[in-house]
Amino acid sequence: MPDRLSGAIIAAGRGDRLRTASTDLPKPLVEIGGETLLARQVRLMLALGLGNLHVIINTETGRRMSEIGLELTDRVRLLVADTPNSMESLLRLGELIPAGRFLLATVDTVLPEDEFRDFFDRARDATVDFSVGGFDGALGVVEWRGDKKPLFVAVEANGAIAAFGDEKIDDESSALVTAGVYLFSTRIFEHSRIARARRLGALRQYLALLIEQRMRFAALPMTDVIDVDEGADLVLARASVARQGR
């Protein structure tokens, strides 16, 4: 039985690039496989045996949820806030998450349940001994498939992440990018004051800061992951979910 780590979902963005393909819905409320992206992510994360799940949404999403009657399980701690960027969304969640390890996902990361569970199991193993020199966290990584705004990752021979970047970091034929799923120690929030003093404005910038502050993260390869940013991504995600049955 999995130990009771917390969970967190970042779902506070507007999803402007997806709006033309989703009848102007906020991204968390776009449907695939008969359920919203938000409800699907909540279901998959709770199926892992997590404790309470902390979710941040913006006020528009909260209002639209009320209009369509979308209710989440009472195991979800819902935070409604219009944060200016993804880093601030994470830091606001960090004010609520109890000390320890937590599983984090962005709402637009679509992957099969078995791959989510496999990542969770490997990430827990990689971070169990962070207090004695192990990893402070683990990030899912996939091969870059031409996404327009990827976060590239340089990985050392021992599987540790060496750097993040907006551009391809080396000349290797295959480039790795973040997959939108993470397992962290709440120690990552110890650097929030530095991030705000530097006026950082994105989750990717905060991750780079954590590497600068000598935190260690494992890169865990994944395969069947779709980042839903545009209409074409939504078509792929719906087809993938249809093949899986859920």
pLDDT digits (tens, 9 = 90+) for 220-233: 999 989 999 888 88
Question: Which numeric CATH code is attached to 6-244?
Answer: 3.90.550.10
197-208 per-position pLDDT tens digit:
999 999 999 999
Q: What is the mean pLDDT of residues 233-240?
A: 89
φ, ψ dihedrals at 160, nearest 5°: -85, 145
Contact (CB, 8 A) for 177 and 149: no
Q: Which of 11-20, 31-40, 94-103 has the lowest mean pLDDT?
A: 11-20
Where exactly are the structural domains of the chain? 6-244
> Is the Cβ–Cβ distance between 148 and 229 less than 8 Å?
yes
Which amino acid is residue 161, in one-letter code? Answer: I
CA distances from 234 to 38, 95, 110, 216 (A): 14, 32, 10, 33
Residue 1 above 70 pLDDT? no
- Look up the pTM and report it: 0.92
The per-residue pLDDT for range 105-154, each reduced to its tens digit, is 999 999 999 999 999 999 998 887 655 557 999 999 999 887 888 899 99
